[in-house]
Amino acid sequence: MEVLEFHPIKNKTVNIYLIRREDRDLLSLHHSNLEKIIEAEKFKFAIVDFNDSEVKKYYQTPLSEFIEKFHLPYYEVEIPESIKSYFYVELLDLEVQIDELEQEYEKLLLNDQEDTFKAQSLKSWIYLLKDKVEYTKNLLEYTIKPKWIVKKILDVVNNIKNDNLSIIHFAHKDLISELKKLFEEYNIKVMKYDIREDKLKSIVIIKEG
C-alpha cells in the first residue's frame, strides 16, 4: 500500500501555476489565453485531477490533446484505490445504518408515534449519522485528496534533475485554498490562474529557504 509520505524539495526553485477551473472549463481551453502562458513559461510537466471517473470520461481527450500540443508530459493524480476503498466501506456502512433507521422511523410515523421518545431518538441518530457521512466525504475530498496531489508533485519534482522548474496543475476550484496552504509549507512559489479571466494572478511568493 502506498504511504502518504512527503519528501521536501531541496536546493531547487519551483514555480507552480494552479489553473483554477470547473469541469466544464476543460472544453474551452483553446479559447483562453492559457496557451500564451504555456508558450511563455517553460513547464516541465502538468498535473491533472479529473475529480471522478465521469469527468475523466468526458474531458480527458480534449485536455490531453491541449497539453500534448505543447509536447508537455502530464501525470494524473488521484487518491490510491486502497485509501478510497477504506473510506467507501465506512460510507457504505453508514448509509446502510441510515436506511435501516429511516425505515424504522417511518413505521413510527405511520402509527402516529412521532412524539415518542423512541421516534425522537431515532430522528436524532439519523441526523448524527448523516452529519458523519457529510464529514467523511468532505474529509476525503478537501483534506486527504489535496495531500495526495502535493505528494505526487513533490515525488515527480524530486526525480527531475533541473534546479529551476515550473509546473502547471489543473486544479478544481474547491481545492485551490488547501493546495495553496500545502504548497506554502514546502517553499513553492504559487501562481493562480482562472481560465475564465484574462490576467494571471499571483497568490503568494514563498522564497526557497
Least confident range from 12-16, 97-101, 132-136: namely 12-16
Q: Which residues of 94-121 are buried (b: 16+ CB within 10 A; e: fewer)?
A: eeeebeebeeebeebeeeeeeeeeebee
Tens of pLDDT, residues 31-81: 566 777 777 777 888 887 766 565 666 666 677 777 788 888 888 888 888
Q: How far is CA 163 from the centre of its chain?
A: 27
Sequence spans of domains, the chain: 13-80+146-204
Tens of pLDDT, residues 2-14: 788 888 888 888 8
Pick the CATH number of 13-80+146-204 from 3.40.1010, 3.40.50, 1.10.3470, 3.30.1490: 3.40.1010
